[in-house]
């Protein structure tokens, strides 16, 4: 979430760590070091189209390898000895794009490229002889899905590319920080371009890299906050945001798990949902995983229409909170975060790029996915609920999603050291009756929402160290953003002076469709570690939505 409000008292603890910690990637940043980067002109393609690769390298020669990534990675393209070249790059390439010329074009011959995620590796040799690599990507959509559903996938995975754009700090800035303003270099860029490389670690990362949560870090009395992913990024020179978004942390482990369990997976991006309202045609089930924090109005329209017309949405992700906009070419994403900074506030207030629950927008996030980041937020992150169980506590054991798990009322699943309820989570405003939680509907949540399980969360960390220690998600910034969003009206009672929320697992029906929502970024951790309850629930949801029965067979360890 990390809202980055405009007010930042310097007397409180630093916001996480100062900017130099973690790799900053842009041409000329480290004189004398080898540079090599690659990006594609689009995030996704169909067979028959041409992929345009843009490269920049200080090496005389470089190679390009393309891997169909997933449970069984396979090299599908390799070209070596390409002539290297550097290109002028704008200082604000993070906002305006790099503008590099095309270096290589690849024709996607029909019948030879399946719908999948493709990792593009640029490889060069440093003067010392060591191999230097960086990554790009593209996704191939299934061209036949709209006209021939006889051999379609079990579900289509929607990649959270808007969240990727928000956190991608290649070029020096993103929606959180990077534009120099003196203190901590923390001024965010409201613009994020698709026409640039992806920061190191978001597309490929060692499997032992820490995730964005306390994880196995035990917080004892007297301990100061720890942020393992930041420490790892600093030491091993990855983007400080590698664990916040991207294929490597979220969609890849889910895809591996799904393929190993026999599910046929197709792929789309949020940009496809924005530009192609019919891109979900031909699919019965759509899946979102990980950190899908950012959505455009058009992306929501596409998803809502899919569900209303009978589609099933399985969301194993968290932190649904911000509206973004795109330019006409869908190459620049806008997010100003507070209405006072967005030039569209006066002209088109429903498209203002701030939190969905802002009264100017009038479209609460919970209306689409059932839950909202505004009612959840942090858990097992720094000093936000640092000693919670790391899992969810069951309240409705008879729900269909828990069938066969043998979980009972009050049981926990996905707990430490797996920690599926960690980092950022989603919930709703709720009340208890006879020991069961029910939505109040005050935040726009559907009244037929069934809250299956819950975990504690807090809107942010309190600085209890008098400014001596860094903190990752300050409570004050969340409260400031809420206040700025309601500047012209009264903050509703359910949000007023609120500090605590809840992560939730829930489901509901809407018109002809159905939604299951496991409101946590870290649900996929349960699949990575083969946690029996997380796996069983995931299979229950997918099998019900797909309309098939599968045995709970053994699968390959991720």
Q: Average pLDDT of 319-343?
A: 97
pLDDT at 558 over 50: no
Pairing state between β 312-318 and 285-291: parallel
The answer to which of 4-13, 45-54, 261-270 has the lowest mean pLDDT is 4-13
By the 8 A CB rule, do 57 and 117 touch?
A: no
d(CA 379, CA 391): 10
The answer to which of 96-110, 135-149, 326-340 has the lowest mean pLDDT is 135-149
The model's confidence at residue 5, banded by pLDDT at 50, 70 and 90, is very low
d(CA 536, CA 473): 32
pLDDT at 532 over 60: yes
pLDDT at 299 over 90: yes
Q: Average pLDDT of 410-433?
A: 97
pLDDT at 514 over 60: yes
- With respect to residue 7, please indicate whether it lies within any of the assigned structural domains: no
d(CA 535, CA 538): 5
The whole-number pLDDT of residue 549 equals 66
pLDDT at 6 over 50: no
Q: Average pLDDT of 165-174?
A: 96
Question: For the segment 428-473, what is each residue's pLDDT rounded down to a tens digit?
Answer: 999 999 999 999 999 999 999 999 999 999 999 998 888 888 888 8
d(CA 5, CA 378): 17
Percent of the chain exceeding pLDDT 90 equals 82
Longest Cα–Cα distance of the chain, Å, equals 71
The whole-number pLDDT of residue 411 equals 98
By the 8 A CB rule, do 213 and 526 touch?
A: no
Q: CA 84 → CA 54, 104, 125, 129, 195, distances in Å?
A: 11, 12, 11, 16, 19
The whole-number pLDDT of residue 550 equals 58
The model's confidence at residue 54, banded by pLDDT at 50, 70 and 90, is very high
More confident call, 548 vs 275? 275
The whole-number pLDDT of residue 205 equals 97
What are the backbone dihedrals phi and psi of residue 107, each rounded to the nearest 5 degrees, phi first?
-85, 130
The chain-wide mean pLDDT, for the chain, equals: 92
Domain span at residue 261 reads 36-546
Q: Average pLDDT of 375-399?
A: 95
The answer to which of 55-69, 166-180, 420-434 has the lowest mean pLDDT is 166-180
d(CA 180, CA 218): 35
By the 8 A CB rule, do 229 and 246 touch?
A: no
- With respect to residue 321, please indicate whether it lies within any of the assigned structural domains: yes
Count up the domains in the chain and report the number.
1
Question: For the segment 75-104, what is each residue's pLDDT rounded down to a tens digit?
Answer: 999 999 999 999 999 999 999 999 999 999
pLDDT at 217 over 80: no
Q: Average pLDDT of 367-377?
A: 96
d(CA 541, CA 263): 13
d(CA 438, CA 440): 6
The model's confidence at residue 183, banded by pLDDT at 50, 70 and 90, is low
d(CA 123, CA 35): 10
* Residues contacting 128, CB < 8 A, separation 6+: none
Q: Average pLDDT of 481-499?
A: 90
- With respect to residue 554, please indicate whether it lies within any of the assigned structural domains: no
The whole-number pLDDT of residue 16 equals 46
Give the CB-side neighbour count of residue 18, counting CA atoms within 13 A: 9
More confident call, 215 vs 230? 230
The whole-number pLDDT of residue 267 equals 98
Q: E-assigned strands of 249-404?
A: 265-269, 285-291, 294-296, 312-318, 322-326, 332-334, 372-379, 392-394
Q: Average pLDDT of 113-139?
A: 96
Q: Assign 275 to helix, strand or coil.
A: helix
Helix axis angle for 252-260 and 532-546, nearest 10°, is 70
More confident call, 134 vs 2? 134
383-417 burial, b for 16+ CB within 10 Å, e for fewer?
bbbbebbbbbbbbbbebebbeebebeeebbbbbbe
- With respect to residue 4, please indicate whether it lies within any of the assigned structural domains: no
More confident call, 469 vs 58? 58
By the 8 A CB rule, do 27 and 86 touch?
A: yes
By the 8 A CB rule, do 163 and 250 touch?
A: no
Q: Which of 319, 323, 318 is nearest to 356 (CA)?
A: 323
Both structure tokens of 143: 């061209």
What are the backbone dihedrals phi and psi of residue 416, each rounded to the nearest 5 degrees, phi first?
-50, 135
By the 8 A CB rule, do 215 and 459 touch?
A: no
Highest mean pLDDT among 120-124, 214-218, 223-227: 120-124
- With respect to residue 236, please indicate whether it lies within any of the assigned structural domains: yes
pLDDT at 500 over 80: yes
Q: Average pLDDT of 125-154?
A: 87
- With respect to residue 3, please indicate whether it lies within any of the assigned structural domains: no
pLDDT at 247 over 70: yes
Q: Average pLDDT of 274-301?
A: 97
Q: Assign 322 to helix, strand or coil.
A: strand
- With respect to residue 238, please indicate whether it lies within any of the assigned structural domains: yes
Both structure tokens of 186: 């923390």
By the 8 A CB rule, do 179 and 19 touch?
A: no
The model's confidence at residue 426, banded by pLDDT at 50, 70 and 90, is very high
516-540 burial, b for 16+ CB within 10 Å, e for fewer?
bbbbbbbbbbbbbbebebbbbbbbb
- With respect to residue 430, please indicate whether it lies within any of the assigned structural domains: yes
The whole-number pLDDT of residue 181 equals 55
The whole-number pLDDT of residue 23 equals 84
Give the CB-side neighbour count of residue 185, counting CA atoms within 13 A: 13
């Amino acid at each position: 979430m990390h809202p980055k409000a405009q007010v930042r008292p310097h007397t409180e603890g630093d916001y996480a760590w100062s900017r130099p910690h973690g790799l900053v990637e842009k041409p000329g940043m480290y004189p004398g070091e080898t540079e090599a980067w690659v990006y594609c002109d689009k995030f996704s393609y169909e067979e028959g189209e041409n992929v345009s690769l843009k490269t920049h390298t200080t090496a005389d020669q470089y190679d390009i390898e393309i891997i169909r990534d997933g449970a069984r990675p396979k090299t599908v393209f390799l070209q070596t000895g390409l002539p290297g070249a550097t290109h002028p790059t704008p200082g604000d390439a993070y906002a305006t794009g790099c503008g590099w010329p095309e270096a290589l074009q690849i024709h996607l011959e029909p019948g030879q490229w399946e719908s999948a995620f493709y990792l593009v590796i640029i490889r060069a040799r440093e003067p010392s002889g060591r191999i230097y690599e960086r990554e790009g990507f593209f996704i191939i959509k299934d061209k036949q899905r709209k006209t021939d559903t006889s051999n379609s996938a079990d579900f289509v995975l929607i990649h959270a590319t808007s969240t990727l754009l928000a956190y991608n700090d290649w070029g020096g800035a993103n929606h959180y920080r990077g534009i120099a303003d003196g203190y901590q270099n923390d001024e965010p860029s409201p613009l994020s371009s698709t026409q640039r490389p992806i920061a190191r670690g978001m597309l490929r990362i060692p499997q032992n890299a820490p995730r964005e949560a306390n994880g196995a870090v035990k917080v004892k009395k007297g301990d100061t906050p720890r942020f393992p992913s930041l420490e790892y990024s600093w030491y091993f020179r990855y983007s400080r945001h590698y664990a916040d978004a991207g294929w490597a942390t979220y969609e890849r482990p889910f895809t591996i798990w799904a393929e190993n369990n026999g599910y046929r997976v197709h792929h789309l991006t949020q940009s496809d949902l924005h530009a192609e309202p019919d891109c979900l045609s031909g699919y019965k089930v759509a899946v979102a995983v990980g950190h899908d924090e950012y959505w455009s109005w058009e992306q929501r329209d596409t998803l809502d229409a899919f569900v209303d017309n009978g589609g099933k949405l399985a969301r194993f992700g968290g932190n649904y909170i911000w509206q973004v906009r795109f330019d006409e070419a869908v190459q620049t994403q806008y997010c100003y975060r507070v209405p006072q900074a967005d030039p569209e506030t006066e002209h088109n207030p429903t498209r203002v790029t701030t939190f969905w629950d802002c009264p100017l927008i009038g479209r609460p996030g919970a209306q689409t996915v059932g839950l909202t980041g505004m009612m959840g937020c942090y858990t097992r992150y720094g000093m936000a609920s640092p000693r919670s169980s790391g899992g969810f506590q069951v309240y409705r054991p008879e729900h269909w999603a828990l069938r066969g798990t043998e979980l009972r009322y009050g049981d926990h699943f996905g707990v430490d050291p797996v920690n599926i309820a960690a980092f950022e989570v989603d919930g709703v405003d709720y009340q208890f009756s006879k020991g069961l939680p029910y939505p109040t509907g005050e935040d726009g949540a559907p009244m037929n929402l069934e809250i299956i399980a819950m975990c504690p969360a807090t809107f942010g960390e309190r600085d209890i160290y008098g400014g001596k220690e860094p903190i990752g998600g300050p409570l004050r910034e969340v409260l400031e953003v809420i206040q700025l969003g309601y500047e012209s009206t009264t903050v509703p009672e359910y949000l007023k002076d609120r500090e605590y929320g809840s992560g939730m697992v829930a489901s509901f029906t809407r018109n002809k469709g159905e939604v299951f929502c496991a409101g946590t970024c870290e649900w996929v951790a349960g699949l990575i570690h083969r946690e029996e309850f997380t796996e069983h629930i995931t299979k229950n949801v997918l099998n019900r939505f797909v309309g098939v029965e599968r045995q709970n067979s053994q699968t390959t360890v991720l």
